[in-house]
Amino acid sequence: MSMSTLKIAGLILVLAIGFSCSKNDSDGTRTVNVRLTDNPFNAEEVNVDIRSVQLRHDDVPGEDDGWYSIDTEDSIYNLLELQNDMHVLLASGPYPYDRIHEVRLLLGDSNSIKIGGVLYPLTVPSGSSSGFKIKIDKDLAVGPNDILIDFDAALSIHKTGNGKFMLQPVLRLK
């Protein structure tokens, strides 16, 4: 083989390696998957109406106050079906930032608890307005990033003196 042929082959090899590396990380996209699970609780159902999952990307308030919404499966979830290492995907989508400071769950009005065959409304103070937040402070890698939130129903549900049920979520990262 001539020296010029070797140089051309070497240049092609360098370009091929460079192209394949840049193709894998070219857009720097981070995908965030937020999943939900629950610890055991003595009730027949604990239903939470999750409408939106948002991620806080910045400590400095701006136009969006640092919150970024990702695609959320707007649905009612029975937390008791998410026990014993079961979980459900709440939200998933591209996220253009390098770090997440907090995760926020915004709830709807169709929250309930079933005890002794009776379905009771579950009052959620500020669940639909400011939502429930959990600090995370996590640097993200390019590609998929999973977040598993443990919604502890046993510590989150309180019966009031007048027989109503309140939801004050205790959320943890797993």
Instruction: Average the pLDDT over 29-45 and give the result.
Output: 85
Whether residue 5 is contained in a domain is answered as: no
pLDDT (tens digit per residue) in 72-92: 988 999 999 998 889 999 999
CB 72 within 8 A of CB 51: yes
Whether residue 21 is contained in a domain is answered as: no
Q: Domain of residue 41: give its range.
A: 29-173
The confidence band for 3, taking pLDDT boundaries of 50, 70 and 90, is: very low
Mean pLDDT lowest for which of 24-28, 96-100, 131-135, 148-152? 24-28
CB 34 within 8 A of CB 78: no
Rounded mean pLDDT of the chain?
Answer: 81
Q: What is the pLDDT of residue 129?
A: 73
pTM score of the predicted model: 0.76
Ramachandran angles phi, psi of 74, nearest 5°: -65, 105
Whether residue 9 is contained in a domain is answered as: no
Whether residue 141 is contained in a domain is answered as: yes
Q: Look at residue 4 and give its three-state secondary structure.
A: helix
Distances (CA, A) of 164 to 39, 40, 61: 22, 21, 37
Whether residue 19 is contained in a domain is answered as: no
Beta bridge partners of 99: 139
Percent helix, strand, coil in the chain, to 5, is 20, 50, 35
CA dihedral 35, 91, 120, 134 (to 10 degrees): 60
Q: Which residue has the higher pLDDT, 63 or 107?
A: 107
Domains in the chain, number: 1
Whether residue 43 is contained in a domain is answered as: yes
CB 80 within 8 A of CB 8: no
